[in-house]
Amino acid sequence: MANSHFHRCRLCPNQCEPVFDRVVVSYLIRGGTRIMWELLDTFTDPNPLVFQLQVGQSANQDADDWANVGGPIENAFYAIDPEKRVFGKTNWTYYRVLVTSSKGTYVSQPVAAIGTLDRRDWRNAREIIRKEKLRFRIGAGQDGYLLKRRVTGVRCTHCLDYQTQEVTDANCEYCYGTGFLCGYFYPMACTWADLSPKSRRIHIDGETRATVNDIVVQARMLLTDLMGEDDIWVNKRTDDRYYIHKIDHVSEIRGCPLIGNVEMRPIAYSSVVYDIKIPDQLAHLGQLPDAGIDFPDPAHTPDEGYSSYGPNFPEP
């Protein structure tokens, strides 16, 4: 089982108040996953309540790959996903639940289908995450954004080799070197990191790379967002961007990762990934209009005048 709502980020005013107490995923690899939920006792919207289960590949609420699982159900507390979602060694599956009443629609926090937590373990995990978030905020951590790399979707037609499907241009402006159009999902805010001092060395690699300047940055981060190799962390204050290179789990509860040491590598300032705009940063600079903007699906390309992100752009 996996559980959501480890913490409530109070630094993101654009998020609505939660109505779900928790969402629990009882996962079966072969299919037949059961997703159960509980509402907070402070939620008093009148019946009927209509629930819709959705599945995606990241913990980002603003990602454009959330898809409905089955149809809406009324006044229920669980739903079943009959499909097999995982192929390979990494489970990227996330679930969330939408509830609609006569007063509005509310969304649960995304839940990863990993680990097995009963309610007691879930409460312990939530407390660990709360204390870690507090430690980040009082001075140990730096706020940032997570750019989740796309591993599925529409393949880039501009830089992929037609025979091998390998990326031939690491600075492709259409896929940002990922091989899939748009490259990365919508930036996930409130991704904290406690960065250690840099380790660097300039030396000559006589075999392959000539003069190299390798810089390694270690960071203590929360793993509840299930980041992976080649995802990008963006420093909110400096806009420095780092590739996530290696992840070592520091704290787990019954297989559910909570805290990790993350090895990151700075991205060269000449890289095309610095062209990826962070809407929240632009909003603070006053470069976005007051009204919300709806971006089309990722099949559109930059030369058509669209953003490199998906739909559902939130209002600043």
Q: Look at residue 132 in the predicted model and tell me its pLDDT.
A: 92
Let me know if residue 244 belongs to a domain: yes
Residues 71 and 187 in one domain: no
Tell me how far apart the alpha carbons of residues 51 and 75 are, in angstroms, rounded to a whole number: 7
Residue 64's pLDDT is: 85
Is there a single domain that holds both residue 95 and residue 43? yes
User: Which pLDDT does position 8 carry in this prediction?
Assistant: 39
Q: Distance of alpha carbon 308 from its chain centroid, rounded?
A: 16
Same domain as 135, residue 218:
yes
Helix ranges (H only) for the chain are 119-135, 279-284
140 plus 272 within the same structural domain: yes
Chunked into runs of 10 residues, the chain (316 residues) has average pLDDT values of 42 59 77 82 82 88 89 84 83 88 90 71 85 88 90 84 90 92 84 86 69 84 81 92 93 84 93 90 65 41 39 36
pLDDT computed for residue 154 by the predictor: 81
The residues near 7 (Cβ < 8 Å, ≥ 6 apart) are 126, 129, 130, 133
Question: Is residue 89, in this structure, part of any structural domain at all?
Answer: yes
Comparing C-alpha atoms, which of 122, 144, 176, 127 is closest to residue 302? 176
Q: Is residue 150 part of a domain?
A: yes
Domain CATH number, residue 136:
2.40.10.370
Domain-terminating residue out of 112, 138, 172: 112
Residues 15 and 66 reside in one and the same domain: yes
Is the same domain home to 93 and 145? no
Please report whether residue 316 resides in a domain.
Answer: no
Question: Given this model, what pLDDT does residue 114 score?
Answer: 65
CB 132 within 8 A of CB 190: no
Question: Residue 265: what pLDDT?
Answer: 92
91, 112, 133 - which closes a domain = 112
- β partners of residue 234: 145, 241
What's the domain range around 7?
A: 2-112
Do residue 283 and residue 229 come from a single domain?
Answer: yes
> Do both 105 and 228 map to the same domain?
no
The answer to the question of residue 76 being in a domain is yes
294 within some domain: yes
Contact 79, 51 (CB under 8 A): yes
Q: Which is nearest to 53 in space by CA: 121, 100, 116?
A: 100
Instruction: Determine contact, residues 72/51, Cβ cutoff 8 Å.
Output: yes
Peptide bond into 48 cis (omega under 30): yes
Q: 227's torsion region: left (phi>0), alpha (psi -120 to 50) or beta? A: beta
Token reading at 14 = 């654009």
Tokens of 110: 């995304």
> What is the count of structural domains for the chain?
2
Is there a domain that residue 315 lies in? no
Among 89, 112, 135, the domain boundary falls at 112
In this structure, is residue 292 part of a structural domain? yes
Q: How far apart are CA 35 and CA 22, in angstroms?
A: 11
One domain, residues 246 and 211:
yes
Residues 143 and 286 reside in one and the same domain = yes
For residues 118, 119, 124, 127, the Cα torsion angle rounded to the nearest 10 degrees is: 140
- Whether 92 and 152 share a structural domain: no
The CATH number of whichever domain residue 70 belongs to comes to 2.60.40.10
